[in-house]
Chain A
Amino acid sequence: MRPQLPIERHTMAVLVDNEAGVLARVIGLFSGRGYNIESLTVAEVNHAEGLSRITVVTRGTPPVIEQIKAQLERLIPVHKVSDLTVEGPAVERELALVKVAATGDPRVESLRLADAFRARVLDTTTDSFTFEITGSSEKIDAFVELMKPLGLVDVSRTGVVAIKRGAGAM
C-alpha cells in the first residue's frame, strides 16, 4: 500500500478574463473533478484589461493540489495561477458582517467582545448590533462562536482574499 498522504490546505489566486461564464468554468471544474472548495471569492481587479481575480481555498493531498493547479491553468480564460501557500509568505483576510439580537447583559457582553476583536459596529438598534470584522478565517470563526450564546441571528462572510507579502505581484 502507498503511504497515506497528508491533506493540505492551499490558497490559490487565479487571474482570469472577466467574461461571462468564467466563474462557472472554475466552479464546474472543482465539482466535476471532485475537488473541495472551502472558500471562493471573485471580483474585477483591472478594469482596463478586463481581468478578474479569483481566490480559492481548497484542500487535498499534494498530488491533488498539483492537479488542481494544472487543471485551472488549462482553462482557456485563465491567465495565471499562483499557489500562495507554496510561493512564499502571503497574507489572507476575510470580512464578515455579524448580527446579534440581544438586550441587557448579553448585549453589553457582545459589544465588549467585539471591541476585543477590533470589530466595528456598523448598525445599531435598541435590540441589535451588526458588527463588521476583518481577519483570518479562524479569527472570524472564533468571533462567531462567541456570539452564538449572546444572540447571534445572522452572518454574512466574503470568503478569503489573499496576496503575497513583500513587493512582488502574483
Chain B
Amino acid sequence: MKIEKNAIPALKNIPHWFDIVSDKNGNAFTGLRAYRQLALEDFNRLGFPNKKMEKWRHTDLSASLSFDYSLATQDFNMQDVLSDVFECDVHDLESFVVNLYKGRFVFKENNLFTLPKGVIVGSLSAAFDQYPELIEKHFGKYGKTDKNAFHALNSALFLDGLFVYVPKNVIVEKPLQLINAVGASDDVLVQNRNLIVLEEGSQLTLIHCDDSYNYKRSFTNSLTEVFIGANASLDHYRLQNINNNSTLISSLVVEQERNAQLSTNSIILNGGLIRNETYTKLNGEGANASILGVYLADKNQHIDNQVFVDHAVPNCTSNELFKGILDDYARAVFNGHILVRKDAQKTLAYQNNANIILTDKAVINTKPFLEIYADDVKCSHGATVGQLDENALFYIRQRGISEDNARMLLMYAFAADVTQEIKIDSLRDRIEDMVKKRLRGELSICDQCVLQCSSPEKYNFEIDMSKI
C-alpha cells in the first residue's frame, strides 16, 4: 500500500496544497474549513483509485498520475489571462460566457453578477462571501467525499468555479457557457468546483466546455453539483476537446425534485484520458433524466463514462444513450448503473451503449447494469459493439461516393443519434461540424467548443435543406 502511494508524486504535495488553499478562502464561509478538513481525511483514507477497484477496473490512472503536477493556486496577471481567454469570439451562439482559467473564475470586470430577475452567475468563491445561506443549503450536499476519492480531493483542494442561482420561475433565455481552458503552464493540476441551483419552475441551459489551448500536460478534476427544484429544468452539455497529454475527470452530481427535468449530453471529441461521471437522484415523482453521450477516440486515448441513476421514488423516467467510435488503440469504458429502489414503482428506465470499433486493437469495456427492487417497472438495457456495415458501405460507394466519405457518412450518422438531440441550433451545427472534423482527423485543439478562431469549414455532404 505504502509503496504504491509513494509512486504518485502528487501525494507528497497534497498537505502543502491544502494549507495554501485553506488560507486563500478558508474564512469566507464558516463551514468550509471543516468541510475541507473532512474531505482531506476522506481522501487520505480512500487514496487515488486503482485498477483493483471495481469502478476503476478498466481505467488505469497510473500514467496520468505519474507526473509531478503543480496545483493551480497562484494568482495571475489578469491582462495576460484576458488576452488568452477572449481571443476568440462567439459567432452565432448568443450566450453568456464565463471563463475559468486554471480553475479560477475570470471575467473582465466583476466576478459575481446579478442578472435581471435575480439570476446570480459568477465565482463560487465570491458566492461563499456574498450568499452564505445559499451555499449552506446546497454546497457539498450532493457530491460524495466519503465514497469518491476525486470528490474528496476536489473538496479539499478546490479554489473556485462557477456558481449559478436561478430563482423561482425564472427562465434564463441565453445559454450560459462555462469554458475551462487549460494549457497556460506545464503540468498544471486543476480542481474545479461548480454549484448550480435551480429553484422551482426555473430553466437554464448550461454548456460546460473543457478545452486545451496547446499541448501542455494538465490534469483537471471537476465536480459540478446541481440541484433542480420542482418543475425546473436543466439542459446541460459537456463539450470536451483536450489534448492527448491531458487528463480530465468530470463529475456531474444532480438531485432532482418533483417533475424536474435533466437533460445532459456529453460530446467527447478528444483527450488523453477522460472520465465522466454522471450521478442523478430522481427524488420527486415525475422527474425525468435524459443522459446522452458520444465519444470519438483514436491513438492511445482512453474515454470512460460512468452513469448512475437513482430512481428513489415512483413515476420517474430515465433514458441513457451513449455511442462511441474507436480507432487505432483507443479504449473506452461504459458503466451504466440504474438503481430502482423498492418504492420506485412505475419507473421507466432505458439504457443503451453502442460502439463501432474500427480496428482490432481498439477495446471497449461496456457494462450496462440494472439493479431493481420494485416490481412494477419497465426497464431495459443493452450494449452493442460492431464494425461499419459493409453492405451499407458498398451501397454508398455504388452511388459514386468515395470510400473515405462513405465511412465518414456512416460514422457521422452513427454519432448523430446523440448530436441531433442538441437543442440549440447554432450549438448543434457547431458540434456536428466538429464531429465531422474529428472524424476526418482535422480537429485541432484550437477548435474550442463554440469558441472558434477560424470560420467553420464546409464539407460536401454537409447541407441542411431547411436553411436554404
A pairs with B: no
A residues at B contact (CB < 8 Å)? none
